[in-house]
Each structure stands twice: as structure tokens, then as C-alpha cells.
């Protein structure tokens, strides 16, 4: 065949296949676009190309049957600790943080926000060690403490520099989405005030882990007077939060704070989620604005476990699946001002989670080991990051080995992202 004929054939084939990948027959939940029903999702060049019923499989290079599964935007977890390293028993470059990809992609989570593990002094190390290397999209709340998160350094008010923090945020606007204050134990408002100052200088929100609750700086004042609309309090269902009155009723000031625009984030973690707060709040119409894990070495081994386990807890408390997805995708994307994320709009990056809703008898525990039983649990079948498969639990995108021929190890996969160590496929065994 002549070169001209080959080029013509290639052009014809390209015209026939409008999509690289077609997810066929799934139930799409895309809260940003008001979609909650059966749709096909088509992907081309790493972006969402179409979301519609009954797209033609002949238009796709590869079609994957996702019937009986839920197709959602890639999950957005805005409270994690992923600045892992060898600096001892710590979070900033320490063993209490975890590298993201082994804990995120397998749960359908394609974007995470590190919540203050690094400060302006060690952000460069965090960026080089984790952000620049991860397949997961890693963004950051910058700690108002220059040394970041890790024990006594968090009490060092001399290192709370809003000018330096805001300057760094302006230098990395595509990564740094806000500022964090955490674990401060003193009676003063200085940690919150310095974070707020940085937020004002950089026009970014702040996230607050209130640390030690002190009568000198009441929590009620934090959320009704000091935080601005768009600022976030994380650890919403922490036992120390004054949430319920003596009759077990949700206190009015929390609804007033929400009306002011203050955002309440879950931030489950290893010690910040108890059923005795969460269940009454949910029953009385006080759900969180965003669902986040506070992922770290201890929380993933305790009651939190992972993003899907946490989302399943809210199903067990009566939240609808659509609302759970909303609080795990579009809401957090808006909170961090990254509205290009958390949805399946045509033209958006193809970050996609394909989830299975399992039914049975399941147990979910809080940070003190108390259990709540539920009948539904989410599991992740497939994760796409920019249109590439990065997690495939049951080989939905794969072919039976008997159909591939004896030399299949040398063949390319047009969907798989091609990653082995150093970016190479392993050599066939002799």
C-alpha cells in the first residue's frame, strides 16, 4: 500500500472514531450540571467530549460497559496530609503523612488538598517531593506557621508570617488555594488572625483546625464573627465542638454561621468525628458542606479508612447518594475556587470515578470505636485521571488474555497510562 493510501486510511479511521474511550450504560451523577440518571460518557484527548444517552460505540476506539455502576466526577478531598518523608515522627516531611497515589486513586479521588502540612519555609521541598511527582492532583493550604505541621513548631507565633505566606501563594497560584491554622493551644487569637491576614493579602480562603478549645477564644466567636464568608472550619463533628444544647438540639449559632457563608468541612481524621455529634446534626438538618478525610498514617488505619468509607458513613446516616457526591466533588471544588474541577461538563478534564454501590450489612466506626451499622457501601471500580486509567479493580477496561495472542505483553494499551517504574513496561519473562 502506498504512503498516500496509508494516510487516507488513517484519516478515515480517525473520522470514524470521535472518542478515545466511551463509558457505556452507567448512572451518571454530576451535581454541578444537574445530571442524575443513565448517560454515556465519552472522552477524547483527556477531556470530556460528550455526556448523553445512547452514544454510538462505533464512534469510540474503546468502549467499556459500566452498566449497574455510578459514574461521577473524580472525587475532591480538601483535607489530607501527603508531605511524607524521612524527618521522623512528624507530618511535615515525616512518617505521619502518606504519599497520595496509593491511597487516593484507588478510591476515585483525583484531587486532594494538603491541609497545612507545609509552610512557606518548606513548601519547596513538599512541591519537589510530592506535588511534582504525584499522578493525583495535589493542591495545598499553606500553613501560617513557616515550618508547617509537626508538634511544638505549631505554637511558635514568631513563625506565623502572613506576608511571607501570601507572597508564596501569589508565586504558586495554581497550587496554593488558601491558608491553614492548626493545633494552636494558646489563649490568644493570634494564629487565626495571622491566617486571616494572609487570606486577605492573597484573596484566598482559610481553613481552621481550632486546636485546643479555650474559653478565652470561644468557638462560637470564631464562626459567627471572625471567619469570613468562604472560610472553612474543618473537624465539624469533633467532640469538642459545642454543637448540641442540654436537650440535644443543634445550637442556633451554627446555622447563623452557615448563613454568614462560613463553610463546615468534615475533616474526619484520627480524632475528629464522633457519632454523638454527627447523627443528631444530620437528623436535625445540619449536614457538612464538604466531605473530607484528613488522611494520614493514623486515620487510614482507624475509623476513617478512606474517602469511600467516609462517604458511606453519610449514606448510613440517611444522606442521599446525590448529596454525598455533591459534597465530595462540586462543593469542595467551589470552596477552593477551582471550578474547573468536580464536574463532567464537556471540555472539562476527564477526571472520572466509576463507583459500585454495594448492599449488605456493614459496620462504620467513629474515632472512639463506636459503631453505626449501614446497609450500603461504596467501592471504586475504575478511576480516570485526565482520561487515563489509573485504577481498574476488576479489569473493566481489559481484554481476556486468551483473545490477545501469545505476544500480548509486547502490545500497547491505548487506555492504560503506561506507568511502571521509570515509565517502562517490564521485559517479558524468558
Residue 415 backbone class (left: φ over 0; alpha: ψ -120 to 50; beta: rest): alpha
| pTM: predicted TM-score of the whole model, two decimal places | 0.93
Taking a C-beta distance cutoff of 8 angstroms, is the pair 135, 385 a contact?
yes
- The DSSP code sequence of 45-105 is TTEEEEEETT--GGGEEEEEE-TTSEEEEPEEEEEE---B-SSSSSSTTBTTS--SHHHHG
Angle at 133 between CA 48 and CA 337, to 5 degrees: 50
Q: Where are the domains of the chain?
A: 74-344+359-373
CB-neighbour burial class of residue 102 (10 A; exposed 0-12, middle 13-18, buried 19+): exposed
Q: Which three cell numbers stand for residue 236?
A: 465539624
Q: Which residues of the chain have pLDDT under 50?
A: 3, 6-7, 9, 12, 418-430
- How many residues are recorded in the chain? 430
At 314 the pLDDT is 99
- The per-residue pLDDT for range 254-297, each reduced to its tens digit, is 999 999 999 999 999 999 999 999 999 999 999 999 999 999 99
At 94 the pLDDT is 95
Q: Which CATH superfamily is domain 74-344+359-373 in?
A: Metal-dependent hydrolases (3.20.20.140)
Cell 461538563 sits on residue: 345
10 Å Cβ neighbour count for 5?
9
Cell 451499622 sits on residue: 373
- The per-residue pLDDT for range 66-88, each reduced to its tens digit, is 999 999 999 999 999 999 998 88
| 41 SS3 class | strand
At 403 the pLDDT is 86
At 414 the pLDDT is 52
- Taking Cα atoms as reference points, which of 198, 216, 193, 266 lies closest to residue 236? 266
- Report how far residue 379's alpha carbon sits from residue 342's, in angstroms, rounded to the nearest whole number: 19
Residue 147 DSSP class: T
At 418 the pLDDT is 47
- Report how far residue 392's alpha carbon sits from residue 335's, in angstroms, rounded to the nearest whole number: 29
The DSSP element (H or E) to which 264 belongs, if any, is strand 263-264
Alpha-helical regions (H) of 127-274:
162-171, 190-202, 219-221, 252-260
- The DSSP code sequence of 340-405 is TSSS--TTSB--EEEEEEEEEEEEEE-TTS-EEEEEEEEEEEEEEETTEEEEETT-TTPPPGGGS-
CB-neighbour burial class of residue 240 (10 A; exposed 0-12, middle 13-18, buried 19+): middle
Amino acid at each position: 500500500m502506498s504512503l498516500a493510501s496509508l494516510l487516507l486510511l488513517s484519516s478515515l479511521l480517525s473520522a470514524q472514531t470521535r472518542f478515545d474511550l466511551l463509558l457505556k450504560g452507567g448512572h451518571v451523577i454530576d451535581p454541578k450540571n444537574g445530571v442524575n440518571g443513565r448517560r454515556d460518557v465519552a472522552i477524547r484527548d483527556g477531556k470530556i467530549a460528550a455526556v448523553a444517552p445512547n452514544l454510538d460505540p462505533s464512534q469510540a476506539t474503546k468502549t467499556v460497559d459500566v452498566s449497574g455502576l455510578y459514574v461521577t466526577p473524580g472525587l475532591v478531598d480538601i483535607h489530607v496530609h501527603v508531605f511524607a518523608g524521612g524527618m521522623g515522627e512528624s507530618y511535615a516531611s515525616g512518617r505521619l503523612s502518606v504519599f497520595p497515589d496509593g491511597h487516593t486513586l484507588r478510591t476515585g479521588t483525583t484531587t486532594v488538598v494538603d491541609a497545612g502540612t507545609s509552610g512557606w519555609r518548606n513548601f519547596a521541598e513538599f512541591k519537589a517531593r510530592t506535588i511534582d511527582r504525584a499522578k493525583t492532583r495535589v493542591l495545598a493550604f499553606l500553613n501560617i506557621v513557616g515550618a508547617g505541621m509537626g508538634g511544638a513548631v505549631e505554637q511558635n507565633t514568631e513563625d506565623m508570617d502572613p506576608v511571607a505566606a501570601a507572597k508564596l501563594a501569589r508565586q504558586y497560584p495554581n497550587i496554593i488555594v488558601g491558608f491553614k491554622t492548626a493545633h494552636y493551644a494558646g489563649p490568644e487569637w493570634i494564629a487565626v488572625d495571622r491566617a486571616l491576614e494572609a487570606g486577605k493579602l492573597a484573596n484566598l480562603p482559610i481553613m481552621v483546625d481550632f486546636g485546643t478549645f479555650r474559653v478565652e477564644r470561644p468557638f462560637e466567636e470564631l464562626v459567627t464573627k471572625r471567619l469570613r464568608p468562604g472560610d472553612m472550619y474543618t473537624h465539624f463533628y469533633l467532640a469538642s465542638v459545642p454543637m448540641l444544647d442540654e436537650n440535644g438540639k443543634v445550637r442556633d449559632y451554627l446555622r447563623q454561621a452557615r448563613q454568614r457563608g462560613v463553610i463546615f468541612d468534615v475533616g474526619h481524621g484520627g480524632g475528629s468525628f464522633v457519632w454523638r455529634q454527627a447523627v443528631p446534626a444530620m437528623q436535625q438538618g445540619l449536614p457538612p458542606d464538604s466531605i473530607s478525610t484528613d488522611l494520614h498514617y493514623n486515620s487510614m488505619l482507624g475509623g476513617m479508612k478512606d474517602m469511600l468509607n467516609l462517604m458511606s458513613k453519610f449514606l448510613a446516616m440517611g444522606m442521599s447518594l446525590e448529596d454525598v457526591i455533591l459534597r465530595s466533588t462540586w462543593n469542595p471544588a467551589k470552596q477552593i475556587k477551582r471550578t474547573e474541577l468536580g464536574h463532567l461538563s464537556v471540555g472539562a478534564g476527564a477526571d472520572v470515578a466509576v463507583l459500585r454501590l454495594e448492599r449488605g450489612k456493614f459496620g462504620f466506626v467513629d474515632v472512639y470505636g463506636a459503631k453505626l451499622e449501614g446497609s450500603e457501601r461504596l467501592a471504586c471500580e475504575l478511576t480516570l485521571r485526565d482520561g487515563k486509567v489509573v485504577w481498574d479493580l476488576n479489569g473493566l477496561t481489559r481484554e481476556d488474555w486468551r483473545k490477545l495472542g501469545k505476544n500480548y505483553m509486547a502490545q500497547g494499551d491505548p487506555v492504560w497510562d503506561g506507568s511502571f517504574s521509570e515509565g517502562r513496561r517490564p521485559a517479558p519473562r524468558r
